Structure 1
């Protein structure tokens, strides 16, 4: 039996049908459930006869019956294949598959999870106005540059760097490029052993949550804040404490004593987009020394400033080694690449590297090598200037549209980024607003998901990175119509 033959095809334990018809039933069910590929031959008569324990003539008769029914086609010297017309029939059958599926009950039960799943539909990009965060405009991606880097990385010259198991190490080329072309723009100097590559920032937070969970001390984080961080810290076994924010960012005076770490997004607070003031940054670092806690700085969208210069990173201001810097290439390159990094004291990186090795050994080296070339050949710098210019135009267009059409809501002041945070008056239900907007082709992020207790329903978030500038005002007008109706 070929190793590529489908092993799930089995005859029923009891049936009144003939063997030929039983085979027809099994194969046709596999076809309609899309379990068989249209471009690969079915098992030969000999293979299927051996698998079912029947004669080859019986399988041959069954296959010919399915050919007569136009479920299969026979190709000379190639075998039997799923009939091409079945692809469209499979799609129609798949539309209602979940409602008809007879699933075996799960043998275990799970308690209600306190993790926050992504609530946007999988086909979000099919909506006319997808104002949701963490998406980029694919038309802005430098495909030619990426293709060139991929071609070079796949060449024989670079193949030894990624073809073997890297165990727990990272691409030296990528680490070097991060040091020279990204971290230094944030005022950060780091040695090679103070940097760890991760599968995005959320993976970085899970790694950090894992190595610090053993202390038993809680982690303080912004409330409202990044639910990805909340999920990562909870899943790694940490107790969480919410800290309020105001117009200057996280409030250090509200951090309770006894915390081991504080998570913050100072460049653009997630999700309100408030930029932490210089005085507040200094106050937070002083509090870390005085109360003996570490700071995890997620430098979210630090590059996207349109009305003011970027503020210095907390890591660049830190003199005591208490700031752990987390970054990601999701916004500046692509979310699908899934690369991020941690910059911290080498002892922290050592522990984080061990934990990452237990989880997944290391991020794909081939992707690291491609991104390193993307930096080294100058594609990253050109791409960053391009998206900054484009997003700045969208930010101003969006800001003008919100001012003109949604003046009845409180619009949080920000200096850039790729989203806006709006809050309604007491009693306003943004969750209901999101439900009504979806029916009109508009997607927004409901604000309650960002609160630790999910208690505040007055706010919602509008991301504009994916929506063309020509569609922004039309989408905002639809939102204004529904807001007016709710008010």
Structure 2
């Protein structure tokens, strides 16, 4: 029996090269039981015509499946599902459970981690024409070729141990050395290897920090508005939360309560307002922490995006007491799927964070660490940052002009750079409803409600990022946003 060519289609959600996607499509058909042993596949010419791709691509995919014994070739007759192909598992039907014996999960769950304010972002954001989404990678800016070369180098025989060995609770020494000798000195920070811990992105670093420093009897001051995932992490730690309203310069030190144990702040680019904390306020914040004998957790995300002016000194670089824990990330500046960050702090703190990390995930994958180390060490990272800075400068200029021409209100912008604007719609505007309406018009924005603490956060704030949208599309996108805001009922 021949398998109809119409049953083959390439899903837009599938990742990888065309050849790999065809291999996956055929293999999934076999593993699911849709394609059975002995059935004939469409010819390479017929399938290529049906899919609108090159015949050689189909031929290479069939050849790989032949080598893996998913397919077999019968002379000039064509390709067939191999008799040795894996068979789909057959499981007996599960019996209906006894209602009286069914687990009551509302009682069985001892601690809940759902219910936070973290918004759901569309995974297919790139198919929208006007994606004002934050934190995604622009393929036009990313250096795919050199990242691939670094990954291949990390797969080489010379790096076999870095690829395969279990580091237990340690990290790739080459990546740690680069961070200590190159990355941190740019922020004025001096740290040894025992004061650096590699993490699965900044969010993992914040979680480790909260677990080590906070208990139910301790209090944490957070910015309001703030990074919503950070607030969720602190809620899960069961500490007492103290939201502090930020102004245009970030967190005001005088507003921090006297019973604060740990202060969480984003001084380089306040999240989400993008405000940069001035030097005098940084010094005042350190003095306030010293007076309270409190610790400071500095999330220094996006410090590389200071393309308008040189970045301000990191809080950690001004700290003479050892009370600042520094959080950095390569996921923001390289690509979010990398999930690679780092913690910097006193050796006593890092030792505890390392032990906690080891009990959860041992260490981030060695191959990822070594690939990143090569990308950094060979200068590709700095070249990427310079290229991104030029592009973001132009996009920011275009967006500022478009926002002004359409009478929209900027509530916060980074004086030193950044990649987004914090916007304020007219009073009474529901930006959740606005976002849904704009999605139908091929525009993506980020409602601001999840960034605020409290049961009734303001509904008329939203964030517009320009890191993932070409400059030529910014003005038409802003025009659609302005038109949608004007059409929404207020009150």
Q: Which has the larger radius of gyration?
A: 1
The answer to whether structure 1 residue 297 and structure 2 residue 298 are counterparts is yes
Distance in 2 separating the partners of 1:148 and 1:155:
11
- Counterpart of 2:481? 479
Which structure 2 residues correspond to residues 115-264 of structure 1 after superposition, within 5 A?
A: 115-214=116-215, 216-264=217-265
- Counterpart of 1:315? 316
Q: Which moved more, 1:107-116 or 1:229-238?
A: 107-116
Distance in 2 separating the partners of 1:418 and 1:115:
25
- Counterpart of 1:468? 470
Cα distance, 1:208 vs structure 2: 0.8
SS in 2 for 1:327: strand
Distance 1:404 1:348, change over 3 A: same
Distance in 2 separating the partners of 1:296 and 1:199:
17
The answer to whether structure 1 residue 108 and structure 2 residue 105 are counterparts is yes
Q: C-alpha offsets along residues 287-326 of structure 1, whole Å, 9 cap, x if unaligned? A: 0000111111001211212432211110011111111100
Cα RMSD between the aligned structures? 2.8
Distance in 1 separating the partners of 2:236 and 2:191:
29
TM-score (norm 2): 0.78
Distance in 1 separating the partners of 2:469 and 2:363:
34
Cα distance, 1:459 vs structure 2: 0.5
Distance in 1 separating the partners of 2:385 and 2:474:
22
- Counterpart of 1:38? 26
Cα distance, 1:458 vs structure 2: 1.4
Cα distance, 1:38 vs structure 2: 3.3
Q: C-alpha offsets along residues 397-456 of structure 1, whole Å, 9 cap, x if unaligned? A: 11111111134x244242211100111333232222112111111111101010012511
The 8 Å contact of residues 209 and 238 in structure 1, kept in 2 or not, is answered as no
Distance in 1 separating the partners of 2:212 and 2:371:
29
SS in 2 for 1:138: coil
TM-score (norm 1): 0.79
Cα distance, 1:136 vs structure 2: 1.8
- Counterpart of 1:414? 414
Distance 1:167 1:218, change over 3 A: same
- Counterpart of 2:339? 338
Which structure 2 residues correspond to residues 364-383 of structure 1 after superposition, within 5 A?
A: 364-383=365-384
Distance 1:425 1:165, change over 3 A: same
Q: C-alpha offsets along residues 151-209 of structure 1, whole Å, 9 cap, x if unaligned? A: 22111111123311000001110011112221111111111110000000000011111
Cα distance, 1:269 vs structure 2: 0.5
Cα distance, 1:107 vs structure 2: 5.0
Q: C-alpha offsets along residues 48-71 of structure 1, whole Å, 9 cap, x if unaligned? A: 9xxxxxxxxxxxxx979x99xxxx
2:83 to 76, 79, 82: 79
Distance in 1 separating the partners of 2:170 and 2:194:
10
Cα distance, 1:37 vs structure 2: 7.1
Q: C-alpha offsets along residues 97-126 of structure 1, whole Å, 9 cap, x if unaligned? A: xxxxxx999851367944223322222221
Distance 1:381 1:281, change over 3 A: same
Distance in 2 separating the partners of 1:240 and 1:337:
30
Size of the alignment, in residue pairs? 410
The answer to whether structure 1 residue 357 and structure 2 residue 361 are counterparts is no
Q: C-alpha offsets along residues 452-483 of structure 1, whole Å, 9 cap, x if unaligned? A: 12511110000111101110001000001011
Cα distance, 1:252 vs structure 2: 1.2
SS in 2 for 1:333: coil
Q: Which moved more, 1:213-222 or 1:270-279?
A: 213-222
Distance in 1 separating the partners of 2:185 and 2:260:
30
- Counterpart of 1:58? none
Distance 1:73 1:307, change over 3 A: closer
Cα distance, 1:376 vs structure 2: 1.2
Distance in 2 separating the partners of 1:223 and 1:121:
25
SS in 2 for 1:209: helix
Distance in 1 separating the partners of 2:113 and 2:468:
33
Cα distance, 1:357 vs structure 2: 0.5
The 8 Å contact of residues 179 and 190 in structure 1, kept in 2 or not, is answered as yes
Q: C-alpha offsets along residues 8-33 of structure 1, whole Å, 9 cap, x if unaligned? A: xxxxxxxxxxxxxxxxxxxxxxxxxx
Distance in 2 separating the partners of 1:324 and 1:274:
20
- Counterpart of 1:328? 329
Distance in 2 separating the partners of 1:118 and 1:163:
36
Gaps of 5+ in 2: 1-23, 41-69, 75-79, 87-95
- Counterpart of 2:457? 455
Cα distance, 1:343 vs structure 2: 0.5
Distance 1:457 1:353, change over 3 A: same
Distance in 1 separating the partners of 2:137 and 2:103:
38
Which structure 2 residues correspond to residues 19-34 of structure 1 after superposition, within 5 A?
A: none
Distance in 2 separating the partners of 1:116 and 1:41:
39
SS in 2 for 1:174: helix
- Counterpart of 2:48? none
Cα distance, 1:149 vs structure 2: 1.2
Distance in 1 separating the partners of 2:405 and 2:150:
44
Distance 1:73 1:165, change over 3 A: closer
The 8 Å contact of residues 211 and 352 in structure 1, kept in 2 or not, is answered as yes
Gaps of 5+ in 1: 1-35, 49-61, 83-102
